[in-house]
Chains A and B, each alone.
Chain A
Amino acid sequence: MKTTKSPSQLVLNGLLNENPIFRLALSMCPAVGISTTVMNGLMLGVAVLFVQVCSSCTIAIIKDYIHPRIRIPTYTLTIATWVTVIDLVLSAYAPVAYKAMGIFIKLIVAFAIITMRLEVFACKNTVTKSFWDGMGMGLGFMFGMVTLGCIRELLGMGTLLGHDVLGFRPLLFFALPLAGFFCVGFMMAVFNYVELVFNRRKEKRA
């Protein structure tokens, strides 16, 4: 299933049509657990974006040499290698960022979204296409995490990026893991509704 989409279409696809969190409902654990603040969401988003792009490109390059029976272990190995590389490099050259992101980075090895993109996309398409697809998926994930972080930080703690915005805490409940599910569900509903309206308009025009 080779794709014929252009780079911009691929990126948009990851951001909206196939948004990892809100449309594909993948990688829900981090989405629920870590999206308590905007900064957390952004940090994890950046890390995932990087690993996704690197892994997608690697697999696109070596896809012809992978034995089909061991493709999943190979994907995991590729992801784990990239995660380790980022972990080591950040801890050595960007200690401040690493302090904030450290615990998130190691989590990425187990992210469903990355393995899934390698399986459905990178192993069938060229390096350039895979790069843009990885970009789209990574940005989509980041977008999702930041949106969730905004909602939860604002409602749970009354702050945004650590700055006091509201001056009081509206609903402490949103800072708790449970609220992550509510937020994800709510955002999914928003996405579905937008799609519904969009399709209806399209039909009317046709």
Chain B
Amino acid sequence: MKEILRITVGLTISCILAGLVMGAVFTMTDKAKKHNEQMDFQETMLGVLGYSGSNPAPSDLKFHSVYRYIIRDQKARFLGYMVPVDRAGKETYELLVLDLEGKLKGHYDVDISPAAAMEMPQREEALKRVLNPPNVFTFADSFIVAMLGSKRLAYLMPGEFPGFKTFIRVMLAVDPHFKIKGLDIMEQEEDPGLGGEIAQDYFKNQFIDKSYDRIKSLKVIKKPLPADYRTYLEREKGERHMPTREQIEKTQKKYADSDIYALTGATISSRSMTRGIKNMVKKFAYRANILDHVIARGNIPVVF
């Protein structure tokens, strides 16, 4: 009995000590970690828009986030879009509730600043004040509208879809006509050297500049990647001999409507990527059109 007690006390003390150490380190590093994550996200967003250290973003480039929620009451399901609005010169949020046919059922003021809205718990706290039980809501996804001055430059979509092994997380940028502007793989665990090549320029850049109509019928072809197309796709890397501007334009035109060339030995990863991107763009285009329609009809003072 004495032995058991001693073991219990010993284990408890070690657990408490370990917990204290981990807790202390967590409190010390949490702020820096969150800051890093935000910076990282920001950098990815600028990256897919084509801005980098050598090509800095203009100062009037602004990002506005829109959050999509699924709202349920006892009878039916609705869609809730949290959109940034301009209220007396101050940017705050409004919740648009749409039925499944895309008709506006109502809109509510959500008292939250854009910075606070980025944090999931604070956002949901603010939503709870607006949506009373029996309404329950679940977060679906978000997208970001990039504005250059008063013009819509692009929509940015963080998204994920299944790959060969596990989920592939990407950041996708499309222009207002849903043509792909940029694509970045944020997280993937495909086989290195095989499916892992999806993150390489010569594969992911194949998606860029594909128009919305082309994306709808995009498929994967199992043919070797033509050498001139590869040079074009990898032009930013600055290895191989650099193509001239004319060559770039020529190759771009030549392959503008081509399908996606599969990766050697990783057809499944190539197909998953193509399917994933296709779905993301198609669904987004559908939703964005409905949302724009609703905003225009309801005279919502959105900032984008």
Partners in one complex: yes
A residues with a Cβ closer than 8 A to B are 36-37, 40, 65-67, 69-70, 73-74, 77-78, 80-81, 84-85, 88-89, 91-93, 95, 103, 156-157, 172, 175-176
By the criterion CB–CB under 8 Å, are A74 and B14 in contact? yes
B115 interfacial contact with A, CB 8 Å: no
Task: Report how far A37 CA is from B192 CA in the complex, Å.
Answer: 9
B17 CB, min distance to chain A CBs, angstroms: 8
A30 CB, min distance to chain B CBs, angstroms: 14
Which residues of B (102-155) have their CB < 8 Å from a CB of A?
Answer: none
Contacts of B189 in A (CB 8 A): 103
By the criterion CB–CB under 8 Å, are A81 and B11 in contact? no
Q: What is the size, in residues, of chain B's interface with A at 8 Å between Cβ atoms? A: 26
By the criterion CB–CB under 8 Å, are A175 and B25 in contact? no
CB-CB nearest in chain A for B24:
A85
Partner of A81, one of B18, B28, B191, B192: B18
CB-CB nearest in chain B for A40:
B192
By the criterion CB–CB under 8 Å, are A91 and B21 in contact? no
By the criterion CB–CB under 8 Å, are B191 and A176 in contact? yes
By the criterion CB–CB under 8 Å, are B29 and A92 in contact? yes
B242 interfacial contact with A, CB 8 Å: no
Task: Report how far A89 CA is from B25 CA in the complex, Å.
Answer: 7
Contacts of B36 in A (CB 8 A): 91-92, 95
By the criterion CB–CB under 8 Å, are B25 and A88 in contact? yes
By the criterion CB–CB under 8 Å, are B18 and A80 in contact? yes
By the criterion CB–CB under 8 Å, are A81 and B22 in contact? yes
Task: Report how far A80 CA is from B17 CA in the complex, Å.
Answer: 12
B192 CB, min distance to chain A CBs, angstroms: 5
By the criterion CB–CB under 8 Å, are A67 and B192 in contact? no
By the criterion CB–CB under 8 Å, are A81 and B32 in contact? no
Task: Report how far A81 CA is from B3 CA in the complex, Å.
Answer: 26
Contacts of A176 in B (CB 8 A): 191, 194
Contacts of B33 in A (CB 8 A): 88, 91-92
By the criterion CB–CB under 8 Å, are A157 and B193 in contact? yes
Contacts of A66 in B (CB 8 A): 10
CB-CB nearest in chain B for A102:
B187
5 closest residue pairs by CB, A with B: A175-B193, A92-B29, A92-B32, A95-B36, A81-B18
